[in-house]
Structure 1
Amino acid sequence: MAKVLVATGSGIRSFARDGEADAELVGHPISAISQEFGSLGLAVVDHQHIWQRNYAGEWSIVADAGIPLQSIVGAGATIFAGAMNEAAVLRVSPSGEVERLASFDHVPGREQWLAIGLPLGVRGLTVTADGRVIFAAVHVGGIPFSIDRGDSWLPTIPVMFDVHEVRAHPSRPHLVAAACAVGLCVSQDHGQTWRTFSDGLEITNSLAVGVLEDEVLFSIQDGPFAKRSQIWRWKLGSDHLEQVRDGLPEWLDGKVDSNWITTGKDQAAILDGGGNLWLSQSGSRGWECIAKGLPYSSGLLLL
């Protein structure tokens, strides 16, 4: 049975269709949770501590980053983490050694990055299915990528597309999707080129994205303080977008923020700004609200 972990300011809560299970890391604020570390899981605990979850659901500390973090991802035995209040990426070795990547501090075009609304920060990190390419979503700084485990970085998407989240396909290494202010952006060549999908959208501003095997889900809302959101999908190979319903209301409460769409095991879960947690039956269909009144979350993980 699918289980959704919801990272909150006081621990991780666990939900399935039959109700809430035992909480994890109770009393600890969780500022990031990984969607891409198999069934193990990674989390940023107490703002700057990196923890790892084993198959039994037990957590143990890996490293102290020394600075506040807001994103994290595993690439093999190496962990990458993104800073919250500055555009920095840390690399954590299997032994727990933490290194700030000077290469990321000197990405070509970095002088064009803008702190709009929030401080410059790395909102999201993702790794391709083959583990070869790492992408970082910088607000507002585009999507730098690395093909050598962070030793060097290059820019990809235009900075003014205003990227909010980036996710790699679970099995196709060449495909990456991003939620941007201009709509859904998709690359099918490891980030070398991007196509923007926005036809049919009355609003293009997207904050969250999730990638299933044969479709990409993304949210749209009328700004960072939106009172309502919609979920749309792009089917791989298609030229058009369609709104996701089949159990979801036409408008969800509040915004669907970055890291509030998660996918796994041919299912998806969504958290909306009203604290409602939605779980699909299969792919992006058969939605059911499995929890209500949840507090603000830093992210979801579907096991």
Structure 2
Amino acid sequence: MNQYKDFAMELVKWLGEENVKIDEPMKKHTSFKVGGPVDVLVTPETYDQVKETIELAKKNNIPYFVIGNGSNLLVKDGGVRGIIIKLCKLDKVTVEGENIIAQGGVLLSKISSLAAKHSLTGLEFASGIPGSVGGALTMNAGAYNGEVSQVIESSLVIDKQGNFIRLSKEDLELGYRMSSILKHSYTVLEAVFKLKKGDSEKIYARIDDLGRRRREKQPLEYPSAGSTFKRPEGYFAAKLIEDSGLKGIHVGDAEVSQKHSGFIINKGNATAKDILDLIEVVQRTVKEKFDVDLHTEVMIIGQDK
């Protein structure tokens, strides 16, 4: 029985039925396509609605977790107790000169495309990244020698006490898959990206080239969360995994991709437990063979079934 049903009904009164779902399967909201139900899923449409949802959750001692596109997230089979706030409806984006102002739920690929349309260079690397602006800023997402820290100007966030805070680039403390957002559990409402005028043909050529390389080297035809593991200092996770003889190994329908061993993929009917068990096999084997600890890049939340 959903212990937060009464609370969800209160949320419906001011958020509307279309923005509140009870016992929502999280496999519908993650790129891995796995995960049990969350007690309450909320999709706020304004910054104030995000603030009010967080404040109400805290007032009622209900745990909450904020997600964007669910592309770097693994939800366990038992689901999530409490509330998940999904920012997908914070999806407005504008161009002001050489700046792009995007709300936290906007897909990074969308702003990359918009930048290209306005002959702005700097976000070509983001064209194939499936995450949202909020998630990308939280993890300092990057690919092909580009990362968010190179183009971010500032961000509007909300802290755990419900305060709106404007963070400068320095305040964000962006490093390899880390930020002050992650450190302090801030929620990203908006980001300002500072780009430069460029040659439209060169921008589109770069985007096309990166898209081709992704299609050739990454298992985009299967559900995954992108790179499963962080890059260990001095090594490449994919090479360690491949050199450990793990390419193609599977647990149930979870598999170390034969196309790119840095990806764990869902071949069809994998459970979160399958993926977690495979992660453990990979970590243990790489540790035994190379004495290197692999840490997950994907965020893992929820309860076992």
Range class of TM-score, shorter chain: 0.3 to 0.5
More helix by share: 2
More strand by share: 1
Larger Rg: 2
Higher relative contact order (CA 8 A, sep 6+): 2
